[in-house]
Amino acid sequence: MADLKTDLGKLKLKNPVMTASGTFGYGGEYTEYFDISRLGAVVVKGISSFPWEGNPTPRVAETASGMLNAIGLHNPGVKKFLHAPEYMPFLRKSGATVIVNIWGRSIDEYCDVTARLEAEKDGIAALEINISCPNIKAGGIAFGTDLKLLAKVISEVRKQTSLPLITKLSPNVSNIAEFAKAAEDSGTDIISLINTLPGMAIDIETRKPKIANVKGGLSGPAIKPVAVRMVYDASKAVKIPIIGMGGIVTAADAIEFFLAGAKAIAVGTAIFADPMAPIKVIDGINEYLDKHKCKSVKDIVGKIVI
Q: How far is CA 66 from each of CA 202, 221, 223, 271, rounded to the nearest angstrom? A: 15, 6, 8, 12
Under 8 Å CB-to-CB from 269, ≥6 apart: which residues? 20, 23, 66, 67, 219, 220, 221, 247
* Residue 133 a catalytic site member: yes
- Which one of 13, 44, 91, 133 is the catalytic residue? 133
Pick from 106, 108, 113, 123: which is nearest to 78 by CA? 113
d(CA 253, CA 246): 9
With residue 117 as reference, give the H or E element that holds it: helix 107-119
Q: Does residue 113 sit in helix, strand or coil?
A: helix
d(CA 192, CA 240): 11
Under 8 Å CB-to-CB from 238, ≥6 apart: which residues? 180, 181, 183, 184, 191
Residues marked as catalytic: 133
